[in-house]
Structure 1
Amino acid sequence: MDPFTDTSTLPLSIAQVEPDAVGAPDGTAGHDAAAGAGSSVLHEQLLVAVVTRAGEVEAAEWALDQAKTARDTQVKAALEAGIPADTVERAAAGHTGA
């Protein structure tokens, strides 16, 4: 399985925000954002998107930590079972040696 390397696509939680509705860096509203309630709704949508993305990142980090722990446990068990280190190293790298 090839790693996911497409960095040009925004995460869904961020991509769902209308890019034209985002205000300019100087604080002026975008052409689709209305003052007052419209701006408040936009800020709420952006906050929800950021919080959602932060949760996604935390979940991914947790899953990665779990996978690393499982890998380390398997490597330790294999070495303690007397399997040669080079065989364990190839297996950990995903090579079958065939």
Structure 2
Amino acid sequence: MNDAERRRQELLEQTRALYNDRRTIPAVHPRYANAYHYLYGKQQEDINEDTKGGTFGIRLFLCALMFAAFLTVDKQKQEVFHMSSSDIANEITKDMDIQEIWKSM
């Protein structure tokens, strides 16, 4: 192999290294990042470092906590901020006209 062929080979390897898509993932929505990493072989440790946890667990815990509080209030026939559990349920299911509320603001 002469100098020109060797230089071409080096440039080809440098170009492949520069544009290699295996070192970083392409623009993937965070929701699908784990699936992409699973399909294309990124290690689990790298996946855990790259992706940040969501807030679903926290939101689920808070909803369960509020529901348990509502059930406790309902079972013991107590009032919270001068509202009974039936008043709370009525307010939740109340049909509201958002356009009227928006106009009144």
Q: TM-score, normalised by structure 1?
A: 0.37
Q: TM-score, normalised by structure 2?
A: 0.35
User: Which has a greater percent of helix?
Assistant: 2
Higher CA-based Rg: 2
